[in-house]
Amino acid sequence: MLCPHCEKNQKVVKVTRKEILPVMGEPVKYDAELYRCVVCRGEFATTEMEEENFQKAYNLYRDKHRLLRKEKIKEIRHKYGLSQKDFSRFLGWGEITIHRYESGSLQDMAHNETLVLIEDPYNALKILELNRNILTSNLIQRIESRIRELLAEEKTASLLPLIEGKYIGASIETGYKIFDIEKIENLIIYIAVKCGGVLKTKLNKLLWYMDFKHFKGHTVGITGAKYLHLPLGPVPMDYELITSKLQNEDRLEAQEIIIGKYLGENYIAKEEADISLFTREELETIDLVMKKLVHLGAGKIKDISHEEVAYKMTSHKQVMPYSFAKDLSL
């Protein structure tokens, strides 16, 4: 490498030493990386090194004053799927502002606070409403769509611990199977697809019969779900949370329909089920139950489930253990 001191190609080694750089009038001490010539002992930095050293000092200043680093600003922008120019417009700033910040320029405190707030899509929605009159309709539509996606993801993320937190290990209450959220979700979708839409009451009974029928034949359930004794028959524990999660992910749609004097929920699948999650034996059980019960109405399946030993031998809101599967009528 050419040593600027010797003005000759010499062997150099990389060294680190403390340096001070004024940032916004504040002295910042940082570890600067330099090259040292092994012949004349002179030290120097390349243009790339100087930029890296400069950013080290700036990052120390950012961390001290709780300013976001440029990488974090870029991550927030990517969260909303926007170019630097569109992100700046969305925030009501100059068109090159984000470009400057992502290139290493220090943001002011007010802009930093806005960037921190916008990590939350609810705050992004407020900013969108504030700046709507200065944005194009196309940009508004793109941002609104992405915010809806992020809000749905947040709802889903908050539901998952609530669902899985009720299950610890495998037991007779789970059919000796670890609860599998993916399996029960895809089983719900599978049933909804095969039925061309399925009422909530009928769906819950089909799930119960599939899990208990499989346990009867194979001493293990399919989904690992616990089932509760409720007035309308067996119901998977926290089924409302599971179906809400599927709706938040836009995989299932709930349509209100009138059934006689009552208002019911009909579930429509918005995708195909991933049947690769199930074993051949599980699929055989699922299809057997569908063949025997799918043609029956929700009320009829409810009445049949009330006559099962598992239902008669348990009380309101009690978990129905899979040990009663041996007496299943199917």
- pLDDT digits 0-9 by tens, 229-251: 999 999 999 888 899 889 988 89
Whether 261 and 290 map to the same domain: the answer is yes
Confidence of residue 206 (pLDDT cuts 50, 70, 90): very high
Residues 196 and 247 in one domain: yes
Same domain, 174 and 285: yes
φ/ψ (deg, to 5) at 21: -125, 125
Structure tokens at 237: 């524990």
- Percent of the chain residues topping a pLDDT of 90: 66
Q: What is the mean pLDDT of residues 216-231?
A: 95
Q: What is the pLDDT of residue 238?
A: 86
User: Can you tell me the distance from the alpha carbon of 284 to that of 229, in angstroms, rounded to the nearest whole number?
Assistant: 26
Query: Are 76 and 125 part of one and the same domain?
Result: yes
Q: 262 falls in which pLDDT band (50, 70, 90)?
A: low
pLDDT digits (tens, 9 = 90+) for 137-184: 999 999 998 988 888 777 777 777 777 777 878 999 999 999 999 999
Place of tokens 């007779």: 172
Q: Are residues 33 and 176 both part of a single domain?
A: no
**CB neighbours of residue 90 within 10 Å:** 23
Residue range(s) defining the domain that contains residue 140:
70-159
Residues 189 and 268 in one domain: yes
In terms of domains, do 278 and 302 share one? yes
Q: 129, 159, 189: which is the final residue of a domain?
A: 159
Helix ranges, the chain (H): 47-64, 70-79, 84-91, 97-102, 109-117, 121-131, 137-164, 181-195, 200-218, 239-248, 280-293, 298-306, 309-312
Lowest mean pLDDT among 27-41, 66-80, 219-233, 293-307: 27-41
Express as a percent the part of the chain with pLDDT over 70. 98
Is a pLDDT exceeding 70 seen at residue 280? Answer: yes
Question: Two tokens at 147?
Answer: 């915010």
Give the distance from CA 43 to its chain's centroid.
50
> Which CATH number characterizes residue 47's domain?
3.10.20
pLDDT at 171: 94
Number of domains in the chain: 3
pLDDT at 63: 92
**Is there a single domain that holds both residue 304 and residue 170?**
yes
- Mean pLDDT across the chain: 91
Same domain as 104, residue 90: yes
Q: 159, 178, 212: which is the final residue of a domain?
A: 159
**Co-location of 131 and 200 in the same domain:** no
181 and 303 in a single domain? The answer is yes
Domain boundary among 15, 39, 64: 64
